[in-house]
């Protein structure tokens, strides 16, 4: 899968179009300061963690047969003196024993996006100049 972002001076906006193989979304630089109607890049990161957590837990609770009607995962982010912090809260509608609740936390930390974010990440960057 290739994801790409396109911004042009002609748009006159701080937003860019992000496209995926099966759709797209507009991402706005000003969203973090309240100036844009679209999610910021950090909002997308929050969304990736929230969605991956919810979907990973969905598979787990179905397999285990837990008495759960809904899972809602909230993720917020902010800057601290130590760096960037993400906070994830898992809201469960249903009944869980203490042991089941502990397993929910364990599985949430095993979701692929969580593991990527806490692991060693290498980003290889290059430029490709195109004549206008």
Read off the CATH number of the domain in which 104 is found. Answer: 3.30.300.20
Residue 76 lies in a domain: yes
Q: What is the pLDDT along the chain (132 residues), one digit of tens a residue?
A: 788 988 887 877 778 889 988 999 988 876 555 556 788 888 899 999 999 999 999 999 999 999 999 999 999 999 989 899 999 999 999 999 999 999 999 999 999 999 999 999 999 999 999 887
DSSP secondary structure of 10-70: GG-SSEEEEEETTEEEEEEGGGGGT--SS--HHHHHHHHHHHHHHHHHHHHHHHHT-EEEE
Q: Which domain holds residue 79?
A: 41-118
62 and 12, same domain (yes or no): no
The tally of CA atoms less than 13 A away on the side-chain side of residue 4 is: 4
Beta partners for 62?
Answer: none
């Amino acid at each position: 899968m290739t994801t790409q972002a396109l911004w042009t001076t002609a748009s006159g906006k701080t937003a860019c179009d992000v496209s995926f193989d099966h759709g797209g979304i507009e991402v706005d630089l000003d969203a973090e300061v309240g100036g844009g109607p679209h999610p910021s890049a950090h909002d997308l990161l929050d969304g990736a963690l929230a969605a991956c957590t919810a979907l990973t837990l969905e598979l787990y609770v179905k397999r285990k047969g837990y008495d759960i009607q809904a899972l809602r995962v909230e993720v917020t982010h902010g800057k601290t003196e130590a760096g960037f912090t993400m906070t994830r809260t898992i809201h469960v509608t249903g009944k869980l024993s203490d042991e089941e609740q502990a397993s929910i936390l364990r599985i949430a930390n095993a979701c692929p996006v969580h593991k990527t974010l806490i692991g060693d990440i290498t980003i290889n960057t290059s430029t490709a100049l195109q004549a206008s």
